[in-house]
Amino acid sequence: MSTTDVLDKYLREIHDARFKEFEENVVRRQALFERAKKFEQSRDKRRREFLKGIGVDLVAFDREQEKELKSQEQELKAYLDEFKPKAVSRPLLQAADLKDAALRAGAFGEAKHRLLHPYASTLFAADKGVFKDVSGVSGDGAINSGWIFPDEAGKIRVKNTGHCPVACFFACGGPPGEEFAVHFAFTPATTANYEMTAVFAFHGFYILRSDDSWYNCRNAKVKLTVSMNAHQYVDVGWKVFPALIDRDEDNVEEVTTYDRTHFFDYTTVLKGGDPAIVTVKGVIDADARGGGAYAELNFEAGTANYIEPLLLSVQHV
């Protein structure tokens, strides 16, 4: 077998094991949601009996709830129509990324570090429908989940949205966030302790909209987390970095762009002569509940929003 065939087989074994974990989380969260819905009807019946017992006109109550929800959803649409296009059509920053990568590569090269470009990337999603515009090798998972190896490993396009327009006391379940992973492959020359630094450029935006008050409960949140792992024979173990984005708001109305270059470091002993795969994994999650509440974390729309793995620096010490 060629070196590429060996690495592809090795990567697919790692991929299958990690997707199985993702798939199990999708099933678990769906089961929790179904359990909550199972008891919702009886709980709602008791609530309505209580409201009726204290003299609430349920017909007027339902009418007002419906009216409020419709109004909030109309306001949300107007807000997104006004502000989201500006974030989608913002200027492309890739030229600056390439200059930055060249400078960093030069510095690492002077320090005699080995520089690696992405070997492959993978995307996991609870709803495989998000892959409809992504070309590559794909597969199915439990319920409606799926995975894909995009043809373009060096540029990740991924987003997640949250929108659940229900009252406070109704079940509102959501799948796990979209997951991306970038894989770097190399064969260590000698058995030693290896220091590895991955450099990633993030270009995207997030939207948070929520109007919480005394008569309702609304919430919107977005989160971006990154972890890193090395695999040689077995997973060495995930190193989890502090969240890059972590916003959880009750009263907010904003569209914020996110342009950052981040460094992720990992150190472990690797054996010389056998292939190793280093993975940088990210999870993007957006969640919102209540009429008019909305959350979106977007590294996909337009041409200026994406995640670019610039390089992995490797040095044995």
- Per-position DSSP letters for 2-68, written without gaps between them: -HHHHHHHHHHHHHHHHHHHHHHHHHHHHHHHHHHHHTHHHHHHHHHHHHHHTT--HHHHHHHHHHH
Q: Are strands 120-125 and 178-186 parallel, antiparallel or unpaired?
A: antiparallel
d(CA 149, CA 138): 6
Kindly report the pTM of this predicted structure: 0.88
Tokens of 90: 């913002």
Rounded Cα gap, residues 188 and 264, in angstroms:
20
What angle in degrees, to the nearest 10, is found between the helix axes of 40-53 and 58-88? 130
Contact yes or no for 268/222 (Cβ under 8 A): no
Domain range list for the chain: 3-316
Q: Report the sign of the C-alpha dihedral through residues 8, 10, 14, 17, in that order.
A: positive
Print pLDDT tens along the chain (317 aa): 677 888 899 999 999 999 999 999 999 988 887 887 777 777 778 878 888 888 888 888 778 778 878 888 888 899 899 999 999 999 888 777 777 777 767 666 666 778 899 999 999 999 998 888 888 889 999 888 999 999 988 899 999 998 776 666 565 666 778 999 999 999 999 999 999 999 999 999 999 998 876 556 788 999 999 999 999 999 999 999 999 999 998 888 999 999 999 999 999 999 999 999 999 999 999 998 887 889 999 999 999 999 999 999 999 88
